[in-house]
Structure 1
Amino acid sequence: MERIFRLAKSLYLAVFTTVAYRAMRREQGDRSNERSPGSIKIVCRYGLKNGLTNGALYNGLALETLGYEVEQPDVTLAMRNPFKRIFCKKGGLFVFHCAAPQFLLLAWPLRRLLRSGKLIGYFAWELAEPPENWPKYEDLWDEIWTPSRFSAQSLAKLYACPIRVVPHVLLKNRSPRRWRKGEEPLTFLTMADARSSLARKNPRAVVAAFLDAFPTEDDVSLVIKLQANPSSEEVNALLAEVEGDARIRVIQETMTRTDVDRLFSGAHVYVSLHRAEGFGLPLLEARLFGLATLATAWSGNLDFMSEENSVLIPYELATMRDEGGVYGEVTWANPDVGAAALAMRRFYEDPAHLAEVAKAGWEASSPERQLARLAEALRTPPLDPLALNVAA
């Protein structure tokens, strides 16, 4: 029965995509004379409450802080009903936070309004090579926005339209954390979502580094927040590696935003031994909560992380098969687990160093600096994809 349902869903999406694309091409046509100034519409499936929706919410708040009029049309319910329409003000910018294959699903409920403004796809991509199955709707959208230069360089290999790097912005701001050695355990935090591949997020490398750094110490802890199918082989392998170690806590249940914030507030170091990142939003969140950040020295996180404000872990590029089946065969970073273990151990041995890294990252990612970078990105002309290819 499940197989029949998946087949029916695939057939519906194929028919819908064909019909919607042709209809929207006719509807859009030459709309240059109908465009008008207006608000910025951040269009997203806000009901999903995932990384995409977090980024959309954060960017909307940041744009409002810069003085723009912002609307946030939620197409969650409309995407289930092709006859449902969403209403908002005409004109301005329509910014669709999604992956390119979902663009038509998000745009369809707003199709009668889109002639009045500019259409922008806000797409993040986490690999050095572009996605092979993403559609080219460049006769519908005017620009692509993406959160990092790494992501822009990848998408420029696929798309010829203007591409603008528009970073995520977080306006939360706590004080830098200090570890009180002897009074509390040194707590490391990592997060991973299987929907975007546990192999890419690489939490098992964090476990390996933690166990290497602290074979017997009992005043340390590691918290792993997973969003995954509990019965998947990847999750079972990770659980087997941490079984019996009371210092390691694996959280698999869905958490509210408040609960996630508590995880950040209770940790001292955020660790991301990722193999690739389009941006690395949890790393930025961690810094605003005052955590020291330790991460692979490759991909989108380098737009806001450096040796001066983080601990960056060396890597080697490796070609392998994604165990989660999300990407197939890919070339990405293989971080040095031994170097990560040494870095984690140094935090333990030298709390002053830990405090310095936490403060440096917190200062470098202050809301004021982030907003300045966003304002500059919006003023700067979009990047030429050909130039991005040359740079890559």
Structure 2
Amino acid sequence: MKAVPDLKVIWQSRWGLPIGYSLSSEAIALQLDQLGVDLFHRPTPWHMPAELNQPRLREIAARSLPDDALQVSYDQADLFYTEHRGYRIGYTMLEVNGLPADWIAACNRMDEIWTPSRWGAETFAAAGVYRPIHVMPLGYDPEHFNTQIPAYRLDNRFTFLSIFEWGERKAPELLLRAYCSAFSRNDDVVLILRINNFDRSISVSQQIANLRLPPDSPPIVILYNQYLSRAQLGSLYRSADCFVLATRGEGWGLPILEAMACGLPVIATNWSAQTEFFRAEVGFPVNVRTLVPAEAKCPYYTGWSWAEPDFDHLVWLMRYVYEHPAEARSVGHAAAAEVAQRWTWRHTAERIVARLAELA
């Protein structure tokens, strides 16, 4: 796909930070640059110092901003730069079934809104965003997440893997209880948790102890706050037999997508943005029991709800995948083939260019 000549775009976002918005923003920007978009960067002010190491992005960041360009604000809605004189696009997402008032106001100061999923578009419209809303899916890096990545297995046990930042939204207590309900020490299984937790007020070990898991629980291995390169992360996925995430809500669900790209059968909640690419034909969706108040250390969630995964169904699916490994592998292979054809960062950039070309 070729970009439209003289397509100038100001990309407002955070770069050079170890956070999801920054990492995905950089990936999209590099793909847009490769497609020939004349790209400029407007940095979003942030309290953490940025360290931008990618040479091409440093070149783009050093360019003076033009006045006659479209602007895409890829960030939290309350961080949109709304004073740009040209056409303004807000590109954002949230993990609950509503939006804070200041997000709605910021969205309605833009000319149009992009969000990664149809679920998100419906949520934004229902919340009161009246600007045109376009579904603009995100993606993943196929170079580091694919079925050819080497695996380094822990042992021959059937290995479940989960990757998340510890907190209420990821429902770690639900996952651990379900795993220990589905299996005992007599089952040939292991659960690997790759966890980040940078909240000093939270003791993960104490929270796990408070669950009072059964004494005959199967083994659990925890990789705690360990930095992994993308290559190492790809190998970690490939070293597992099944990826499981009992999430209560996702703005996109990148670990789910990366696991699918690596050929893993995935068990994940059937609610929120991951439903854009995750369904029964390419995974094992967990039923939602109900929606519950989104109580967490995040002011954006106040007053809204998210999913409560069905515990019994989660237990059943983990046991089913364990007892039907050939079928599970077949689903994983189908997932890898589909996401490679539809959901890479290149696909994201091509969709963006197609929309920008219409506007230009």
Alignment TM class, shorter chain as reference: 0.7 to 0.9
Cα distance between partner residues in 1 of 2:40 and 2:156: 42
For 1:7-86, what aligned pairs fall within 5 Å after superposition? Answer: 37-64=6-33, 67-69=35-37, 71=39, 73=41, 75=43
Percent identical = 24
Asked whether the 8 Å contact 2:184–2:218 carries over to 1, the reply is no
Unaligned runs of 5+ residues in structure 2 are 50-60
2:188 equivalent in structure 1:
219
CA drift of 1:368 comes to: 5.0
1:145 equivalent in structure 2:
114
User: Which residue of the other structure, out of 230, 248, 266, is the alignment partner of 1:275?
Assistant: 248
CA drift of 1:343 comes to: 1.4
2:278 equivalent in structure 1:
305
Comparing 219-228 with 296-305, greater Cα deviation is found at 219-228
CA drift of 1:321 comes to: 5.4
Asked whether the 8 Å contact 2:263–2:329 carries over to 1, the reply is no
Unaligned runs of 5+ residues in structure 1 are 1-35, 382-392
1:174 equivalent in structure 2:
146
CA gap of 1:379–1:188, structure 2 versus 1, over 3 A, is same
TM-score w.r.t. length of structure 1: 0.72
2:79 equivalent in structure 1:
102
CA gap of 1:325–1:80, structure 2 versus 1, over 3 A, is closer
CA gap of 1:70–1:284, structure 2 versus 1, over 3 A, is farther
1:202 aligns with 2:171: yes
Cα distance between partner residues in 1 of 2:225 and 2:152: 30
SS class of match (1:121) = strand
Cα distance between partner residues in 1 of 2:15 and 2:220: 32
Cα distance between partner residues in 2 of 1:217 and 1:179: 25
Alpha-carbon displacement from aligned partner over 1:252-299 (angstroms, at most 9, x marks no partner): 315143343343232232212112222211111111122211111111
Cα distance between partner residues in 2 of 1:181 and 1:138: 46
2:95 equivalent in structure 1:
126
Cα distance between partner residues in 2 of 1:180 and 1:46: 32
SS class of match (2:192) = strand
1:237 aligns with 2:207: yes
Larger radius of gyration between Structure 1 and Structure 2: 1
CA drift of 1:237 comes to: 1.6
* One-letter amino acid of the counterpart of residue 309, structure 2: P
CA gap of 1:97–1:235, structure 2 versus 1, over 3 A, is farther
1:357 equivalent in structure 2:
331
CA drift of 1:153 comes to: 1.4
1:22 equivalent in structure 2:
none
* One-letter amino acid of the counterpart of residue 315, structure 1: V
Asked whether the 8 Å contact 2:195–2:223 carries over to 1, the reply is yes
CA gap of 1:260–1:273, structure 2 versus 1, over 3 A, is same
Comparing 344-353 with 317-326, greater Cα deviation is found at 317-326
CA gap of 1:280–1:242, structure 2 versus 1, over 3 A, is farther
Asked whether the 8 Å contact 2:87–2:111 carries over to 1, the reply is yes
Alpha-carbon displacement from aligned partner over 1:159-205 (angstroms, at most 9, x marks no partner): 221111110122415117999999622222223335xxx22211221
Cα distance between partner residues in 1 of 2:11 and 2:330: 37
SS class of match (1:342) = helix
CA drift of 1:92 comes to: 3.8
1:266 equivalent in structure 2:
239
Q: Compute the RMSD of aligned alpha carbons.
A: 3.6
Asked whether the 8 Å contact 2:268–2:286 carries over to 1, the reply is yes
Aligned residues: 331
TM-score w.r.t. length of structure 2: 0.78
Cα distance between partner residues in 2 of 1:267 and 1:338: 23
Cα distance between partner residues in 2 of 1:62 and 1:269: 30
CA gap of 1:246–1:145, structure 2 versus 1, over 3 A, is same
